[in-house]
Amino acid sequence: IDDADLDTLVTGITAAATASVAAAAVVAGRRRAGAGVMSAPWLADVAERTLEAGLHREPVVRRAGAAEINLASNDYLGLSSHPAVIAGAHAALDEWGAGSTASRLVAGTTAAHIDFENDIADFLGFEAALTFSSGYLANIGAITALVGRGDLIVSDTGAHASLIDGCRLSRARVEVVPRGDTEAVRRALARRTEDRALVVTDSIYSIDGMIAPLRDYYDAAAEHGAIMLADEAHALGVRGPGGRGVAAEQGLSGAPGLVITTVASKSLGAQGGIVLGTGLLRDHLIDHARTFIFDTGLNPAAVGAAHAALRVLRGDPQMPDRLRAGVRRLASACGGDVPDAAVVSLIVGDPVAAVRAAAICREGGVFVGCFRPPSVPEGTSRLRLTVRADLDDDTLDTVAAVVTAALREVGAA
Ligand code: PMP
């Protein structure tokens, strides 16, 4: 055993010991805190079983200024720390204050919201846009405003949780088809008894960064008189001309019957959800989307940051190409498939091993995502690395070395 092996061993043991001591301390602490107040024994049982199995998911605490390479975020273009974006947030904060203070229908809307909506609609080739305070709420609001009881939704197995929750809340009948199976979408639409139908899909699946057959889905929806809603959360700034997304790449910008949802919380480095479509759709959402009507408007600082980020992206249309070059480099070095977008997914399988691999990466100065059930199906727990356009080749090579060693350590490479 040479020194490098010993170092790897020590890192692994330390990570495992730290994790189990931390879990035990959490269990003990929770028991103490819960004694006397926890009146629901079933809740204590479930919570403790999760903790004891090492499956509790406490968010990792990040320290300001820590020298860590962060590949756990969705900050694909590195814009969350871009000086112009931070300045955009500051300017909006100074001009409009720290909060939107109420629903936009109640307290009025800022000119900053309207300017951003007009600009992003123009960028993506749609007539109009409406912001929500998150992408999650945008999806729920849009779906529940478009369909309801007595209607049909066709969704695929890759749909993000926010689309799934929107489908459930709508009370429409939901038919789930295998991911990417256009014929199944077509069949479900053709045999329906409902008049109104909506097809919902991610344009880039969030877990593994693979691309959906958006054009084929759209054609199937159009043939059968259905609306299509595509979630471009992972595509904005990543795919398509100048980062305009998969719809633009597949010639669907502004297509009739197409609704796009996207977010300011990923490649734009800010926060917020956006729905794009016709002006009439925007009017309809204002009147019917409960997550617009009853939710406080998107924070002005987030609007300012998102708008500044959009300007940076418009001024540097090569940014997505730089990102994709980094993705190819990292995915190849880690032995993973090269995905369509910025997410490099490395399957570990066992959830405890995946958590341990992520902890080992962190010890090595690399912060990666760790996805396990219920975020992914049983047996497919994984490390999820999101590349950023602002990482240079040397940094990506360091990441690859640390991640590969961690996977080897847990027997997954
Ligand atoms: N859609 C997809 C595909 C996502 O991955 C996410 C974020 N995880 C959302 C919607 C929700 O966006 P937000 O984080 O802005 O609520």
Q: What pLDDT, on the 0 to 100 scale, is given for residue 337?
A: 82
Give the atom of ligand 1 at the shortest distance from the alpha carbon of 139. Answer: 10
pLDDT in tens, 365-410: 999 999 988 888 899 999 999 999 999 999 999 999 999 999 999 9
CB 308 within 8 A of CB 85: yes
Comparing 153-157, 195-199, 250-254, 349-353, the range with the smallest average pLDDT is 349-353
Nearest to 150 by CA among 104, 196, 191, 181: 196
Ligand 1 cavity residues, CB under 6 Å? 134-136, 139, 160, 162, 202, 206, 231, 233-234, 263, 265, 273
Q: Average pLDDT of 28-51?
A: 72
Kindly report which listed range (53-57, 130-134, 221-225, 343-347) carries the lowest average pLDDT score. 53-57
Confidence of residue 2 (pLDDT cuts 50, 70, 90): confident
pTM of the full structure: 0.89
Instruction: Report the residue among 143, 160, 231 best suited for mutation to probe ligand 1: largest number of ligand atoms under 8 A from its CB.
Output: 160
What would the pLDDT profile of 258-316 be if each residue is shown by its tens digit? 999 999 999 999 999 999 999 999 999 999 999 999 999 999 999 999 999 999 999 99
- pLDDT value of position 59: 84
Q: Which CATH number fits domain 56-76+342-413: 3.30.2310.20, 3.40.50.150, 1.10.1040.10, 3.90.1150.10?
A: 3.90.1150.10
Mean pLDDT value across residues 35-48: 74
| pLDDT for 165 beyond 90 | yes
Cα 269 from Cα 312, distance rounded (Å)? 11
Residue of the CA atom closest to atom 13 of ligand 1: 135
Lowest mean pLDDT of 58-62, 125-129, 242-246, name the range. Answer: 58-62
Q: How far apart are the first and last CA of the chain?
A: 19
Share of the chain above pLDDT 90, in %: 77
Residue 4: band (very low, low, confident or very high) from pLDDT cuts 50, 70, 90: confident
Going by C-alpha positions, the residue among 12, 14, 3, 15 that lies closest to residue 405 is 12
The rounded distance, in Å, linking the Cα atoms of 270 and 252 is 26
Give the mean pLDDT of the chain. 92
Residues of the chain with CATH 3.40.640.10: 80-315
In angstroms, what is the C-alpha Rg of the chain?
A: 22
Query: Quick one: pLDDT at residue 40?
Result: 78
State the architecture of 80-315 in CATH terms: 3-Layer(aba) Sandwich (3.40)
Ligand 1 pocket test, candidate residues 76, 132, 134, 136, most atoms within 8 A of CB: 136
pLDDT in tens, 19-39: 666 666 766 676 656 555 556
Which pLDDT belongs to residue 263? 98
Q: 10, exposed or middle or buried, with CB in 10 Å at 0-12, 13-18, 19+?
A: exposed
Please give the number of the atom of ligand 1 that sits closest to the Cα of 263.
15
Name the 3-class secondary structure at 254: coil
Separation in Å, CA 375 to CA 1, 138, 161, 370, 380? 38, 20, 9, 10, 10
pLDDT band at 50 (very low <50, low <70, confident <90, very high): confident
Per-residue pLDDT at 42: 83
> Where in the chain are all domains bearing CATH 3.90.1150.10?
56-76+342-413
State the average pLDDT over residues 341-365. Answer: 93
CA atoms within 13 A on the CB side of 369: 23
Q: Amino acid letter at 343?
A: V
CA of 21 to the centre of ligand 1 (A): 33
Split at pLDDT 50, 70, 90, the class of 327 is very high
Average pLDDT for 56-80: 88
- Specify whether the CB–CB gap between 207 and 193 falls below 8 A: no
Name which residue sits closest to atom 12 of ligand 1, judged by CA. Answer: 135
Beta-carbon contacts of 341 under 8 Å, excluding residues fewer than 6 positions away, are: 204, 209, 210, 211, 234, 235, 238, 239, 327
**Residue with CA nearest ligand 1 atom 5:** 206
Residue 101 predicted with pLDDT over 90: yes
pLDDT at position 38 is: 56
